[in-house]
Amino acid sequence: MHLEMKAADTLRELAPTGRLRLGIVVAPAASAFFVILDNGTYRGVTVDIGRALAAKLGLDVEIVRFPNSGACTDAVEAGAIDVSFMPVDDERRKRVAFGPAYYLIESTYLVTAASGIESLSEVDRASVRVVGITNTTTIRSAGRSLMTIRPEPVETVAEGVERLLDGRADALALSRDAFRSLLPQLPGSRVLDGGFQRTGIAIATAKDRPAALALLTDFMEEAKASGLVRKALDAAGFADEPVAPPGG
């Protein structure tokens, strides 16, 4: 009975409304992180993992969409959602509690054909217009690495792509895996070799929920070991991308 009561308390700590409120970030193309809306259905790695978590806990899932990971971080911190997945950096660690990563990312630039840019060093020139998604680990890291210019924030990936297409930007800062699906939308564009950030995409919940965090940590390690994460990456079109190692 004591164990059953403890389990019930943990569930209430994680999902106080009785439903698992799952935060996702929607983009025009899928990545190991971004979700797409396909004929009214959300599809992507984080949706698959989140649904599996809800099923394991015996909870209904309520999917809450956000335009970027910064807005999703705000919602986790405020307790407006119960769990999400997002790239990790020091600023976010101050605001939310992270469990294990399921995937490791490298951030770099996609550049237009018109820009003529061929290397990372060529991005940092006064004439280059760089955009990145507002309040994200990637734009913060890009800002630290660029000495001559500053990336301009946009609200969504779709807005960043639009600026590249209409000539208002030369480069988009984003994780490398995301560019695979975006490249067909940007004829002649290229993804630069190398990167300016490496980090993990990890499960996250609000701070001061130790029992909930322990539950999520156990779930993610099991999800990586059992092949659940592998299956989610495969289904999203990333069969050649590795799952983060145990403890990652």
DSSP codes of every residue in 123-164: HSSTT--EEEETTSHHHHHHHHH-SS--PEEESSHHHHHHHH
Whether residues 64 and 128 fall in one domain: no
- Asked if 193 and 106 touch (Cβ cutoff 8 Å), the reply is no
Q: How confident is the model at residue 231 (pLDDT cuts 50, 70, 90)?
A: very high
Higher pLDDT residue, 37 or 5?
Answer: 37
For the chain, how big is the Rg over CA atoms in Å? Answer: 19
Angle at 180 between CA 179 and CA 183, to 5 degrees: 70
- Helix (H, G, I), strand (E, B), or coil: what is residue 182? helix
| Residue in the structure block whose two tokens are 């399921």 | 102
Residue 1: pLDDT band (50, 70, 90) is very low
Do 6 and 53 fall within a single domain? yes
Number of other residues whose CB lies within 10 A of the CB of residue 218:
12
| Average pLDDT of the residues in 96-102 | 98
Mean pLDDT, all residues of the chain: 95
What DSSP element (H or E) covers 93?
helix 90-93
Assigned domain for 241 exists:
no
Residue 171, SS3 per DSSP: strand
> Residue 8 pLDDT > 90, yes or no?
no
Give the domain CATH number at 18: 3.40.190.10
What is the rounded average pLDDT of the residues 87-115?
97
Percent of the chain with pLDDT over 70: 98
pLDDT score of 133: 97
Are 50 and 22 found together in one domain?
Answer: yes
pLDDT of residue 232: 98
Residue 21 has pLDDT above 90, yes or no: yes
If asked whether residues 76 and 118 sit together in one domain, one would say no
Is 248 a residue whose pLDDT tops 80?
no
**Inside any domain, residue 246:** no
Cα-based torsion angle of the residue sequence 209, 210, 211, 215 in order, rounded to the nearest 10 degrees: 100
State how many domains the chain has.
2
Q: Are residues 94 and 215 in the same domain?
A: yes
Is the domain of 226 the same as that of 122?
no
Report the predicted TM-score, pTM, of the whole model to 2 decimal places.
0.93
Residue 152's pLDDT is 98
Query: Average pLDDT in the 139-143 region?
Result: 97
204 with 192, same domain: the answer is: no
User: Measured between alpha carbons, how far is 186 from 27 in angstroms, rounded to an integer?
Assistant: 15
Q: Which of 10, 2, 6 is nearest to 205 (CA)?
A: 10
- Can you give the three-state secondary structure of 30-88, one letter per residue? CCCCCEEEECCEEECHHHHHHHHHHHHHCCCEEEEEECCHHHHHHHHHHCCCCEEEEEC
- pLDDT bin (cut points 50, 70, 90) of residue 221 is very high
Please give the pLDDT value at position 3.
43
8 Å CB contact between 205 and 98: no
218 and 191: one domain? no
For residue 75, the enclosing domain spans 2-105+200-235
